[in-house]
Structure 1
Amino acid sequence: MADAAQASARDKARDAAEDKLVQLVRRAAQAGPAMPCAVVHPVDAASLSGALEAAAAALIQPILVGPAARIRAAAAEAGLDLSAMAIEDVPHSHAAAERAVALVHDGRAAALLKGSLHTDELMAAVVARDAGLRTERRISHCFILDVPRYHKPLVVTDAAINIEPDLETKADIARNAIDLCRALGIARPKLAVLAAVEVVTPKQPATLDAAALSKMADRGQIEGGIVDGPLAFDNAISLEAAHAKHLESPVAGDPDILLVPDLTSGNMLAKQLQYLAGAESAGVVVGARVPIALTSRAEGSRARLASCAVMRLAVGMRVTRHGND
């Protein structure tokens, strides 16, 4: 009986997690017309089916950018119908990344969706100084995680782009994440700046950065959210853990965003939540002229669909910045 009760509880938790993704997709589909999206080098079944599913959900209007023969061959092998899809024929993945960025400059694409190419190859075209998609902000990545035991979507940033960010870069990472959460419908996102401990000590530089970010938010240098740190993971997520340490925080127990000290810790945290806690995730790069979904080949169709939904909402709320607008 106990095993049955535990299984039922797990099922209910999973249903709740699925509802979070469904709500994101539904809200995005209702946000207006589907956005034109360049799908970069979709020469396998996973990236093609993900683009078609997002199109069917009224999230994107795919522009398939890559070798046309390989794209059509992959579609034929998977039994996918591309008759309604626009295809930009280029010879290889490097050219596909450059052409996708050019489509943004031409006003033909409002977002980028990674297909079957390395992330570094796509991002090299995005950050190219002359022809890329840079803005005045540093580019960063946000995982949007549906953790079954957590009561709302949880953003982890940055776990994919900035390896060892300094204070200035962390400030942009915070701004990007806050803007994204506001696009997702959170009026005043709560951001916890993580460290190993919740006290400020020069022996742990991450705590100094966290304290500085909190004060920057107090002074209006980071706008739109509530920022507090340093917070250890336990007292960021658990109000009971914070109270046990006599910690008063406007963020503890209810963060929308976890800002991690560096890429290594963020990547580990996001993947631990996925593989040990059963979280499902979307992922998007922000801070560029358009949002960019860096979906992995290990991710399923739900992750791709949710990532497109997040991009659609970001475009609709003008989260991405254009030049110095």
Structure 2
Amino acid sequence: MIKELKDILDILKGEEKVILSVAAAEEKEVLQAVKDAVENQIIEPILVGDKDKIKLISEEINFDLTGIKILNSNSIEESARIAVELVSTKNADFVMKGILDTSVLLKSVLNKDYGIRTDSLLSHVVAYQIENYHKLLLLTDGGMNISPNYEQKEMILKNAIQAAKVLGLDTVKVACLAAKEKVDTKMQATVDADLLQKAFVNGKFGKNVIVEGPLSFDIALSKEASDIKGFKSEVSGDIDILLVPTIEVGNGIGKSFTYMADAKSAGVIMGAKAPIVLVSRADSAESKLYSIAYGALIAKNIK
């Protein structure tokens, strides 16, 4: 089982490299992240964008482009199309967002003619490495879906389970978060969480998965809190996935992990035929590298 993000780098080294297409790669921080991934021997990149700018920036950061394919484009829209088409035609294994709006990239991802859409919903999954937690903790969805309904939560959870299984877990343990453990029709999060647990019992999420809900945050992550409250749980204190009810909850928890607990992280968008790597300028260089590595690991497992 992968317990630390750096373990992903170790697993990918020496393996057949997965190919990453980068849409609108002409940005310093994006190219630095790609450079770090190349130097760690985990990917083979295809850089799509303004060729002259890519070369100029690469010189500034001492990124040796020898042997690296660069595909020139005249607009960010064209960059997005080319990068996504590389994946849909199996000339690349996954895609990364460069210096373009997320909406532009996702428009290409969802294109009916050349995109990589599936019947699922796109959702954001972040793996956090937190010092006082004994393994990686996945959080979803704090980045894409604002206030998902029950059917959307089912798809978000399936995406997260797929992202969790590549970590080598024997059993994926899920907590569907709410403000309390009892179902209250006035609190939709508790109703949906209860339905997700019932769906799990009926085999909706496959083998080697346990889903419980509704669970409060303390009971999900602390067996001691569960025991004190007299709450019986198979997963308390050993959660792999936190499924949040709304984007605000996920965004707040995730940023609390990062800024208050100094967590390391790796994030991808799931639900397409291949993972999509989105890095923020606020992310550390380390987290950007880990996001590429996590995307590579997932891509390798779903090829």
**Does the TM-score normalized on the shorter chain lie above 0.5?**
yes
**Match among 77, 97, 105 for residue 114 of structure 1:** 97
Structure 2 Cα separation of the partners of residues 196 and 129 of structure 1: 39
Segment of structure 1 superposing worse, 251-260 or 49-58: 49-58
Aligned to 1:4: none
* 2:254 aligned with 1:277: no
State the secondary structure of the residue aligned to 1:48: helix
Aligned to 1:207: 190
* 2:12 aligned with 1:28: yes
For residue 141 of structure 1, report the CA deviation from its aligned partner.
1.1
Question: Structure 1: where are the runs of 5+ without partners?
Answer: 1-18, 321-325
> Is the contact made by 1:147 and 1:153 (CA closer than 8 Å) also made in structure 2?
yes
Aligned to 2:162: 179
Structure 1 Cα separation of the partners of residues 162 and 243 of structure 2: 14
**Match among 205, 210, 218 for residue 222 of structure 1:** 205
Q: Which AA in structure 1 matches 2:248?
A: T
Q: TM-score, normalised by structure 1?
A: 0.89
Counterparts in 2 of 1:1-325, with a 5 A limit? Answer: 20-29=4-13, 32-224=15-207, 225-318=209-302
> Is the contact made by 1:25 and 1:305 (CA closer than 8 Å) also made in structure 2?
no
1:77-126 alpha-carbon deviations (Å, 9 max, x no partner): 33322222100100122211111111112211110122222222212211
Q: Which AA in structure 1 matches 2:249?
A: S
Q: Which AA in structure 1 matches 2:78?
A: A
Aligned to 1:8: none
Aligned to 1:13: none
State the secondary structure of the residue aligned to 1:211: helix
1:147-195 alpha-carbon deviations (Å, 9 max, x no partner): 1111111000011111111111101111111111111111211010001
Q: Which AA in structure 2 matches 1:33?
A: E
State the secondary structure of the residue aligned to 2:231: coil
> In structure 2, do the counterparts of structure 1 residues 181 and 230 end up closer, same or farther at CA, with 3 Å as the change threshold?
same
State the secondary structure of the residue aligned to 1:317: helix
For residue 36 of structure 1, report the CA deviation from its aligned partner.
0.9
Structure 2 Cα separation of the partners of residues 73 and 94 of structure 1: 21
Question: Structure 2: where are the runs of 5+ without partners?
Answer: none
1:238-282 alpha-carbon deviations (Å, 9 max, x no partner): 111111211111111110000000112111110111001111110
Structure 1 Cα separation of the partners of residues 237 and 103 of structure 2: 35
State the secondary structure of the residue aligned to 2:245: coil
Give the superposed CA RMSD.
Answer: 1.6
For residue 317 of structure 1, report the CA deviation from its aligned partner.
1.9
Q: TM-score, normalised by structure 2?
A: 0.95
